[in-house]
């Protein structure tokens, strides 16, 4: 993958929001993941690199401390299976430079009479300086796979302040040890669990350490060939950053997160000529703020999402269409004033059309349009639009090419947003 990760934020001095909105550089990056695997073992290596574009901001409000940052991440993961037993591990090293214009690390080392950085570090990122952080995260597991039971013991650790430009929020400064059983009760019923302990404050630099019991439950029930359903529930502690990472006064959100969901599908009709399906999904997540020195202390972040979709696929004409309705309610920080919570409501309908051509459906196109009414729960609602066009070409039986185009637009209060995305992928099955 490659492209723009963050759009620049650069306001004119005459703008009414000039003193309230933090400026931000445009950020671009790329990532590569390669690996091999078979039914029991695998090995993958991932490299990610991103940087703020210095020339994207010509001027900005000097009251904000804005520095161009860079980031490189190298990670590896492996799984080894031996008969019914298996072991696995994954580790990542994130080299995060908070100010790329600062004095280089080698210059600082020479001035202090120290040795320069080892060459292997420079091979990952040669932009290291005095503001660079070396951050690590890793996990390991061991398990056994029996006829009706898969049992896994897993340990996970994310060191304090671990971050990467590849994700906007990250749960850092915590370690978890869990037992993950999967029980196949019958051909129709499968139960998956996740139970364990989570602690934070790994370096004991904070006055308080949290000890949380974490658990998750996932039940899959398939009473017939036509109907299947899944129920899930989880209770996890989180530790995320609710503002941009370059702000010195960013707000730490420490919370206990609970989520509950139900999804399912029903096959109304399935023949060689035609298939008709109904799918539904309901999800609710609640985060309770428990950090005493946070402006949001005692607040509840709640999100509710639901959708029902109908699809009709004609195998003779190779034409499909679908229609759906959705409902989304989210409480989060105001994009204008980060110390204010607002409830955003969106509801509407989606429409899908698709067509395939040639033998074995070598060429296919589909388009999904979503139209919502969106706004604050107590305020005016505005129309928002989302459109997604996807194409697929089957080059050979083992090779395929996919292309996607996406566009989103809407208005929240007086701020309008427009997003455009392109993604392409090539696949080869050996």
Q: What are phi and psi of 225, to 5 degrees?
A: -70, -20
Whole-angstrom CA distances from 195 to 285, 286, 290 are 19, 19, 22
Q: For residue 25, which of 56, 65, 69 has the smallest C-alpha distance?
A: 56
Report the Cα 102 to chain-centroid distance in Å.
31
Alpha-carbon span 142 to 301, nearest angstrom: 35
Q: What is residue 252's predicted lDDT score, i.e. its pLDDT?
A: 45
Q: CA torsion sign, 160 to 54 to 408 to 404?
A: negative
Whole-angstrom CA distances from 174 to 79, 136, 158, 204, 246 are 23, 12, 6, 11, 22
- Decide: 310 and 322 in contact? Cβ < 8 Å: yes
Alpha-carbon span 163 to 143, nearest angstrom: 29
Alpha-carbon span 198 to 237, nearest angstrom: 8
Whole-angstrom CA distances from 200 to 48, 211, 239 are 27, 7, 9
Alpha-carbon span 124 to 137, nearest angstrom: 16
Q: What is residue 289's predicted lDDT score, i.e. its pLDDT?
A: 64
Q: For residue 422, which of 408, 409, 404, 407 has the smallest C-alpha distance?
A: 404
Alpha-carbon span 22 to 332, nearest angstrom: 18
| Residue 83 CB burial class (10 angstroms; 0-12, 13-18, ≥19) | exposed
Low-confidence residues of the chain: pLDDT under 50: 238-253
Task: Report the predicted TM-score, pTM, of the whole model to 2 decimal places.
Answer: 0.67
């Amino acid at each position: 993958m490659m492209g723009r990760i963050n759009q620049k934020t650069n306001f004119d001095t005459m703008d009414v929001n000039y003193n309230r909105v933090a400026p931000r550089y445009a950020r671009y990056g790329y990532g590569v993941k390669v690996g091999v695997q078979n039914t029991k073992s695998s090995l993958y290596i991932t490299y990610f690199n991103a940087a703020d574009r210095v020339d994207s901001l010509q001027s900005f409000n000097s009251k904000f401390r804005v520095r161009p940052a860079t980031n490189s991440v190298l990670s590896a993961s492996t799984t080894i299976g031996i008969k019914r037993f298996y072991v696995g591990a994954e580790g990542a090293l994130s080299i995060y430079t908070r100010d790329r214009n600062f004095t280089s690390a080698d210059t600082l080392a020479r001035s202090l009479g120290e040795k320069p950085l080892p060459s292997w570090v420079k091979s990952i990122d040669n932009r290291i300086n005095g503001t660079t952080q070396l951050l690590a995260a890793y996990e390991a597991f061991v398990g056994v796979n029996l006829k009706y039971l898969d049992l896994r013991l897993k340990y996970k650790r994310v060191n304090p302040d671990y971050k990467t430009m590849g994700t906007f929020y990250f749960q850092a400064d915590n370690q978890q040890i869990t037992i993950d059983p999967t029980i196949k009760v019958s051909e129709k019923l499968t139960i998956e669990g996740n139970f364990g302990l989570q602690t934070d404050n790994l370096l004991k630099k904070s006055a308080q350490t949290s000890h949380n019991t974490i658990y998750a439950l996932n039940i899959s029930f398939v009473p017939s060939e036509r109907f299947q359903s899944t129920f899930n529930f989880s209770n996890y502690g989180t530790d995320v950053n609710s503002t941009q990472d370059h702000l010195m006064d960013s707000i730490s959100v420490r919370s206990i997160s609970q989520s509950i969901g139900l999804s399912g599908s029903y096959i109304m009709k399935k023949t060689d000529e035609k298939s008709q399906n109904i799918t539904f999904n309901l999800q609710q997540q609640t985060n309770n703020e428990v950090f005493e020195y946070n402006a949001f202390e005692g607040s509840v972040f709640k999100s509710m999402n639901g959708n029902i979709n109908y699809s009709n696929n004609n195998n003779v004409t190779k034409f499909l269409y679908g229609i759906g309705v959705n409902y989304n309610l989210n409480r989060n920080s105001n994009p204008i004033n980060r110390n204010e919570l607002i409830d955003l409501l969106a509801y509407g309908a989606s429409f899908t059309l698709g067509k395939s051509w040639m033998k074995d459906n070598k060429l296919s196109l589909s388009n999904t349009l979503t139209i919502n009414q969106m706004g604050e729960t107590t305020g005016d609602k505005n129309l928002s639009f989302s459109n997604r066009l996807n194409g697929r070409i089957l080059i050979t039986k083992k090779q395929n090419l996919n292309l996607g185009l996406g566009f989103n637009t809407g208005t929240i209060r007086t701020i309008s947003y427009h997003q455009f995305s392109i993604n392409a992928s090539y696949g080869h099955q050996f």
